Amino acid sequence: MTDLKALTESVIKGDIGTATTETQHAVETGHNPQDILDKGLIGAMDEVGESFSKGKIFIPQMLRSAKTMQECMKVLEPLFQKGDITSKGKVIIGTVKGDLHDIGKNLVSMMMEGAGFTMFDLGVNASPERFVQKAQEIEPDIVAMSALLSTTMPSMRQTIEALKQASIRGKVKVMIGGAPVTEKYAREIEADCYAPDAGSAVIKAKGILGIA
Amino acid sequence: MKPIEIPTFQPRLRVLDRQQALAIHAAALEILEKIGFKMEHPGALEMLIDAGCKVTGGDWLKLPPYLVEAALASAPKQIVLYDQRGNRAMPLVDGNLFYGTGSDATFTLDLETGQRRRVVLKDVANFARLADGLENIAFTMSMGNPEDVPVEDIYVHVFAEMVRNTNKPIVFIADSGRDIAKIYEIACQVVGGEEELRDTPFLLNYSEAISPLHFPENVMEKLIFCAEKGIPICLPSGSNAGGGAPITLAGAMALGIAENLVGLVVHQLAGKGSPFLFGPNVSTLDMKSTVVSYGCPEWSLTQAALADMRDEIYGLPIWAYAGASDAKVMDAQAGAEAMFSIISSMLSRCNLIHDVGFLEYGNTSSLEMVTMANELIAMSRFFTEGIPINDETLALEAIERVVGGGPGSIFLMDDHTFEHFMQAQFLPGLLDRNRYDPWKEAGTTDLYQRCNLEAKRILAGHPVDPKADEILKGIDRILEGG
């Protein structure tokens, strides 16, 4: 078995061609797909995430690494039995009802996926009912909500209420974010945490689930 | 001898030539014709289809260039904003420029403690009063979304508070057709009725489509309302390079202009000849923090380019920004970034220039920043007004007098200096030029501290002409009406 160094380096560099070739190579030389995922891909993304939070690399570079990881996942996925991939956690994410802004949400989603979370994106204008419905369907660890407009923030409160009504609230952690959202508001609506940007969203998500 | 009479050249910054302007405009038209946009307001969708747009699936439309030409032809080249007493205040045309504050900040810097805290309604009042008392601030905006008013009608409460605390023109935010109608009602109260408001509008609505190419129903409701009522409006989407638009500035401008043109077309179809303030917001997304930058050179550059495009093609007055910063406190970065956008927007002759006084990329408002910017605007004005050349300013007689006047004869003592110094110089108020020892004795203050004191002085002492009781009571009734 060759080591996974070439793979991690190509993910860090965002070299999709080399990374997918290295992934295939790793499979052919006897690596366990879960090991390739954990040590090769997520390991690389952890390093990327660290460089990013230290201000050493830019977002497009981080996203390129995330995209590289996604391409490698396409190579690995057929090798996993259904339901066998262990991810850091399942996350439902959406921009709340009445709000159509999604750049921030998309960034958070990409970065969390890069960190090893499995993302379920409800898109924009996602009603409390949609959040509940998806939660009932996939039993997430985290429900994450985004809003850009002050006037749509009440939808966050309503979604938490809907989760309570459906007896789901106690089974998930709720994270919120977006330009007008504050730590204080998170406490007010009894969300589990607030993250001010995509980078800290990953750190906070790991924190509330108690994982590394 | 015939007196020297030379018109004063006033420096003007140009960043695009005609060929470039036409290229960006052509790209904008191509975006509309070949890529299209999403129109979520059924009424607007129908209007556009009737006018000649092609539907390419659901609510996705493509727009032929001739519709743009027609809208540009019918939109007025001059928009006049009045103050709340019906006086002509801001004729937005050609190179006339006016600075004002901004809206939707979540936080503000406390005047007493310097702490960053959530905005409350009293802050909206204070910013309005400060704007009312500052010579170079021509209009006011909310400078915050207060946490102590019901969020469903937040913009109505904020508008009423501005009306109570200033008589200058107001640029306002609304959420949808529902609350804009209430704000309109309040505005009619102030001037006496709908016709009066149409004739002498003191307000302008600021709404945004969503980049890229997405036109939500509530946004179009506001646009159509304003078009029908003749209320001036701007519809700059946040087509920020790297965010809602491509990272390269030419493409970001083309996209933002395309989006703006959709708004203009719908606007003129709904209200031919109604006033539309032109232009997108084209800043850039910081590639480390992902904030939309308020201190970057990119935004100043793209709006300077927009001003050139106005002069070459559009002819409509334009929306712009200045006097803001990404700094979290009012430090050297805040001063540098504020001055950069103030002087460049002035040199490029943008028309309605908002966001003066913002820190933290628009998230925190600061009374001190507004106060500082007031002086920076004056300093910039001095520069852009150029150097008048005539017999008086060439001062040959004064030179002869002083030089020939024997020992003790200095320009300082000469009549010419006494007569001219107040116009010939820029006279700073808050920018400090003291010698070291007096500065030390006065308390070694920096600009932030002096602006803080000045803001307090204005808030304590500047008299805002109050509205008549009936007007205030009428406003209360509308707010309670619910």
* ipTM score for this prediction: 0.88
Residue B429 within any structural domain of the chain: no
Kind and range of the H or E element at B383? Answer: helix B367-384
Could you tell me if B338 and B419 lie in one domain?
A: no
Instruction: For A184, name the nearest residue in chain B, comparing CA atoms only.
Output: B118
Domains of chain A as residue ranges with CATH: 5-79 (1.10.1240.10), 89-209 (3.40.50.280)
The DSSP call for residue A96 is B
**Helices A59-76, A103-114: inter-axial angle, 10-degree rounding:** 50
CA distances from B170 to A149, B227, B418 (A): 21, 18, 40
pTM confidence score: 0.94
Could you tell me if B297 and B324 lie in one domain?
A: yes
From A39's Cα to the closest Cα of chain B, the distance in A is 26
State the CATH number of the domain containing residue B222. Answer: 3.20.20.480
The residue type found at B311 is D
- Interface touch A60/B287, C-beta < 8 Å: yes
- Interface touch B289/A197, C-beta < 8 Å: yes
Confidence at residue B322, expressed as pLDDT on a 0 to 100 scale: 98
**How far apart (Å, rounded) are the C-alpha atoms in residues B104 and B166?**
18
Structure-block tokens of residue B456:
């307090």
Contact B60, B290 (CB under 8 A): no
Pairing of strands B88-92, B98-99: unpaired
Residue A82, C-beta contacts closer than 8 angstroms, at least 6 positions apart? none
Confidence at residue A87, expressed as pLDDT on a 0 to 100 scale: 86
Query: Which stretches of chain A sit within 8 Å of chain B by CB?
Result: 52, 55, 58-60, 100-101, 103-104, 107, 149-151, 153-154, 179-180, 182, 184, 197-198
Residue B112 within any structural domain of the chain: yes
CA B434 from centre of chain: 33
**How far apart (Å, rounded) are the C-alpha atoms in residues B288 and A199?**
10
Residue B61 within any structural domain of the chain: no
- Interface touch A153/B151, C-beta < 8 Å: yes
Q: How many domains does chain B have?
A: 2
Which among A34, A51, A38, A36 is positioned nearest to A1, based on CA atoms?
A: A36
Please say if the pLDDT value at position A85 is more than 80. no
Q: How many residues does chain A have?
A: 212
Using one digit for the tens of pLDDT, what is the confidence trace for A9-62? 999 999 999 999 999 999 999 999 999 998 999 899 989 988 988 889 999 999
Residue B19 within any structural domain of the chain: no
Query: Which residue from A58, A100, A150 is facing B287, i.e. has the nearest CB?
Result: A58
- Interface touch B288/A58, C-beta < 8 Å: yes
Using one digit for the tens of pLDDT, what is the confidence trace for B69-117? 999 999 999 999 999 999 999 999 999 999 999 999 999 999 999 999 9
**Ranges of chain B with pLDDT below 50:** none
Could you tell me if B78 and B202 lie in one domain?
A: yes
From B106's Cα to the closest Cα of chain A, the distance in A is 6
Residue B365 within any structural domain of the chain: yes
Residue A175, C-beta contacts closer than 8 angstroms, at least 6 positions apart? A142, A143, A144, A145, A191, A192, A193, A194, A195, A201, A204, A205, A208
Query: Which residue from B151, B289, B290 is facing A151, i.e. has the nearest CB?
Result: B151
Could you tell me if B290 and B405 lie in one domain?
A: no
Confidence at residue A3, expressed as pLDDT on a 0 to 100 scale: 85
Instruction: For A103, name the nearest residue in chain B, comparing CA atoms only.
Output: B243
**Helices A16-28, A59-76: inter-axial angle, 10-degree rounding:** 30
User: Which residues of chain A neighbour B210 with C-beta distances below 8 Å?
Assistant: 100-101
| CB crowding B445-459: b at 16 or more within 10 Å, else e | eebbebbbebbbebb
Residue B456 within any structural domain of the chain: no
CA A82 from centre of chain: 20
Query: Which residue from A59, A103, A150 is facing B154, i.e. has the nearest CB?
Result: A150
- Interface touch A153/B288, C-beta < 8 Å: no
Beta strands in B216-325, from DSSP E residues, in sequence order = 233-234, 276-277, 319-321
Using one digit for the tens of pLDDT, what is the confidence trace for A130-144? 999 999 999 999 999
Confidence at residue A117, expressed as pLDDT on a 0 to 100 scale: 93
CB pairs under 8 A between A and B: 41
**How far apart (Å, rounded) are the C-alpha atoms in residues B313 and B306?**
10
Contact B249, B282 (CB under 8 A): yes
Question: Could you give the residue ranges of the DSSP H alpha helices within B101-192?
Answer: 121-133, 154-165, 177-191
- Interface touch B290/A182, C-beta < 8 Å: no
CA B35 from centre of chain: 31
**How far apart (Å, rounded) are the C-alpha atoms in residues A126 and A155?**
9
CA distances from B79 to A185, B39, B166, B174 (A): 40, 27, 21, 20
- Interface touch A103/B244, C-beta < 8 Å: yes
* Domain interval for residue B239: 73-384+471-481
Could you tell me if B111 and B233 lie in one domain?
A: yes
- The per-residue pLDDT of chain A, averaged, comes to 93
From B469's Cα to the closest Cα of chain A, the distance in A is 31
Which among A74, A61, A69 is positioned nearest to A43, based on CA atoms?
A: A69
Residue B319 within any structural domain of the chain: yes
- Interface touch B290/A150, C-beta < 8 Å: no
Structure-block tokens of residue B166:
């200033």
Could you tell me if B376 and B418 lie in one domain?
A: no
Q: How many Cα atoms sit within 13 Å of A76 on the Cβ side? A: 26
Query: Which residue from A101, A107, A180 is facing B210, i.e. has the nearest CB?
Result: A101
Could you tell me if B305 and B237 lie in one domain?
A: yes
Could you tell me if B400 and B293 lie in one domain?
A: no
Could you tell me if B302 and B274 lie in one domain?
A: yes
Residue B139 within any structural domain of the chain: yes
**How far apart (Å, rounded) are the C-alpha atoms in residues B299 and B323?**
12
Question: Could you write out the three-class secondary structure of chain B?
Answer: CCCCEECCCCCCCCCCCHHHHHHHHHHHHHHHHHHCEEECCHHHHHHHHHHCCEECCCCEEECCHHHHHHHHHHCCCCEEEECCCCCEEEEECCCCCEEECCCCCCEEECCCCCCEEECCHHHHHHHHHHHHHCCCCCEECCCCCCCCCCHHHHHHHHHHHHHHHCCCCEEECCCCHHHHHHHHHHHHHHHCCHHHHHHCCCEEEECCCECCCEECHHHHHHHHHHHHHCCCEECCCECCECCCECCCHHHHHHHHHHHHHHHHHHHHHHCCCCCEEECCECCEECCCCCCECCCCHHHHHHHHHHHHHHHHHHCCCEEEECCCCCCCCCCHHHHHHHHHHHHHHHHCCCCEEECCCEEHHHCEECHHHHHHHHHHHHHHHHHHCCCCEEHHHHCHHHHHHHHCCCCCCCHHHCHHHHHHHHHHCCCCCCCCCCCHHHHHHCCCCCHHHHHHHHHHHHHHHCCCCCCCHHHHHHHHHHHHHC
Could you tell me if B380 and B417 lie in one domain?
A: no
Instruction: For A185, name the nearest residue in chain B, comparing CA atoms only.
Output: B147
Pairing of strands B37-39, B60-62: antiparallel
Q: How many CB atoms lie within 10 A of CB B18?
A: 12
Residue B120, C-beta contacts closer than 8 angstroms, at least 6 positions apart? B146, B147, B148
Which among B375, B359, B376, B357 is positioned nearest to B367, based on CA atoms?
A: B357
**How far apart (Å, rounded) are the C-alpha atoms in residues B321 and B342?**
8
Could you tell me if B210 and B324 lie in one domain?
A: yes
Q: Identify the residue among B37, B103, B106, B222 best suited for mutation to test binding to A, counting A beta carbons within 10 A and taking the highest.
A: B106
- Interface touch A101/B290, C-beta < 8 Å: no
Could you tell me if B263 and B123 lie in one domain?
A: yes
User: Which residues of chain B neighbour A104 with C-beta distances below 8 Å?
Assistant: 290
Average pLDDT over residues A100-121: 92
